[in-house]
Structure 1
Amino acid sequence: MFYVSMFFQYISQYVKTRMQYRADLFVEFFSDLMSQAINLIFILVVFGHTNLLGGWSRDEIIFIYGFFLVPYAVFSAFFNIWDFNERYIIKGELDRILTRPIHSLFQIILERIELESLLGAITGIAVLFYAGSRLGLSLSWYDPILFIIFVIGGALVYGGIFVMLACISFWADAKTSIMPMMYNISNYGRYPVNIYNKLIRFVLTWILPFAFVGVYPASFFLEKNEWNWYAFLTPAIGIAFFSLSVILWNQGVKKYRGAGN
């Protein structure tokens, strides 16, 4: 209950702060919307030259992209740790975090929340309904429940991978560019993995499982029965990677000796 209370207190303070700068909030939302629109236009341009991509139709690819946007929005809202190395290790702000009687990762996640990113989930759901209606997909009573489970699993996959990347800073506090590179790699999860070669497919499934954020869970709703077991692995993969990241984080905190030494 203590952590739940702290969560809502952080959220309350964040909302108060953001409402003081409504114009900035609108600009951020508009820029995110433009970024998503550009990615969607790219898909449409590709299908302007072909009817199928790896056996997938245009509307199926759009459906996968729409699904991807939802867990990605949750991740973007709660895991803004791309500058963890510079802000918390090099500048020493982790010292402040460690003086408080609450888990350090929990604090950093709540300090860096960007709830406006959740608006991307609305865009994703809209794209899902558009593509789903064109594909003639029907909903079963359990589909919304599975959708929420898959979204949480996908967000945990993303969160787990990027928390593990942040943990590198505990052992190597020099500035690195691995985070931007990983963001670029993560974009491959927006598309069906069978359009890539076997090595990339293996990496996106078991090493950096970004495929569990988009194509695998989306394939369940697209009735791609041969990939159903991958879809149901999504929550397990998410929990496994995030749990591993927390273990690695705890070990990194033990290794940390403070700024300036």
Structure 2
Amino acid sequence: MTALYKTDSTKRDRLKEFYYQIKDCRLCELYKTRINFVFGSGNSNAPIVFAGEAPGRNEDLQGKPFVGQAGKLLDELLLFIGFNRNDVFIANVLKCRPPENRDPSTIEINKCKNYLFKQIEIISPMIICTLGRYSTQLILNTSANISKLRGKIFKIGKSIVLPINHPAAALYTPSKLQVLREDFKKIRDIFDNYEHPENVGEITEVYGLERIYKARADSAVAGEAEAGETLV
């Protein structure tokens, strides 16, 4: 699958440089309890970026995203549509595990969010697939519930954004697993119809966010804006 894409070696170098710039982050209190800083992993030239919520116990131990049961399901779903982990990039809104796997706090998200924006800027994917509430609300700059947004197709700049449920929600519920499988089929359809995504479904173009995200990505390194500041 990766042979289909033109390799840009500078992306790998930029991601590696960015990792070393932020791996010792202490912007929030989570650094005190983490075992590993979970930067993200995958193909620096990925056409698809999957954005999750936060590392869990297994991710914290191994330093890689989605390595637990939800990760195994994600791998199965990727294979289901003809991809594997080497074809995509996977990251989370938070890079450190919240204790007891609790939900991310607003403060933690605001401190960490620019890192994800920087990763997306470097990779410049065709598709951003947000997994669950937190990444969906962050990427689309909305407070709307994931149930209202799931499966809808958005466009920000050159990237198509598809919000879907987090794989963890489908682990023990067959009906949710079927919905997730259908959403992954849509990912494949969008990929195959990237030049004409309207062939897959109605597109909602979100104007203005690309400029905001560029500013947030820049501040991830430059420190020009306080975490949580509205950059408009």
TM-score (norm 1): 0.30
- Name the one with the larger helix percent: 1
- Structure number with greater CO (CA < 8 Å, separation at least 6) is 1
